[in-house]
Structure formats: C-alpha cells, structure tokens
Amino acid sequence: MNEIRISKSKLYFTFFLILILAVVLVYFYVYQPNQVRKEEIEEYKKSVYESIFCQYSCPIVEVDVLNQTNLLPDVSCTKVCTENLKAKNISLTHFSEEDVLDDNLFIDIDAVIRNCKQNNYNSETEELNYTSFFSCSAKEIESLKESYSYLS
C-alpha cells in the first residue's frame, strides 16, 4: 500500500498558514468594514452635533413672531449652520436608528437643552429668558465634547 507521510513540521506549517489566512479574512471582511461603518456613523453624529451647537451659538436678535417680539438666534446664522450640514451630503437614511442611537449623544443634547429651558423659565411671568437659554444651551452642548471622544 502506498502511504502518504506528512511530517509534523509540514502539518504544523499548513495549520499555521490556514490560521493566518482565516485571521486575515476575518480582518478584511468583518472587522475593517465594521470599523469603517463606525467611523461614518461617528462622522455623521459629529456633523449633526456641530450644526446644533452652531445654531445655539448664533447671535441673539429681536424677531417679531405673531405680533410679539422675542429674542431668538439670528436666522441668517442658523441658515448657515444648517447649510453647512447639508453641504456634507450626509443622510440619516444611510444609517439605522439603532446605529445612530448606539450611545447617548442625542439624548444628552436633548437633556441639556431641556435643563437650560427649565432653568431659564420664569413660571410667574410664564416667559423664557431667551438670551440666557441659548447661552446656557450652547455652553452645555459644548461641554458634551468631554464625554464623546469622536467630537474632538
């Protein structure tokens, strides 16, 4: 009978080569695409964050709304903020809601804005101090950079 003899060293080498090939395939077909997607999602969230921060940082001007004068962010400034976001051609439809909400960034943004609104609302006069509200919101939104490394 013809026997095929393979030395242990050749067998170990073949096994090692297959193992290395498997690791390389996993890297290129699983890990790297996931990393690229993660970076795209973080870039999207950073762009939205910057737009929101920009809008809350706009100068406050008097605006007539329904025969009432309010202090609100300058419309031309907020328009520039949103146009800058649109210019990046980043679409929310490219990501699932689960992808975008994988951390608490947008929840935290909402919470700091609500907190600033609550702190600057006078329940006696039922009026919001818009100047303080927008200033507070911009400051608190900016402070979120410390909690999310991808915002830096």
Q: How confident is the prediction along the chain (152 residues), in pLDDT tens digits per residue?
A: 677 787 888 889 999 999 999 999 988 888 888 899 899 999 999 999 999 999 999 999 998 888 888 889 999 999 999 999 999 887 767 788 888 888 999 999 999 999 999 999 999 998 899 999 999 999 999 999 999 999 98
How would DSSP label each residue in 77-119? Answer: HHHHHHHHHHHTT--GGGS-HHHHTSSSHHHHHHHHHHHHHHH
* pTM assigned to the model: 0.79
Reference 139, options 51, 56, 24; nearest CA is: 56
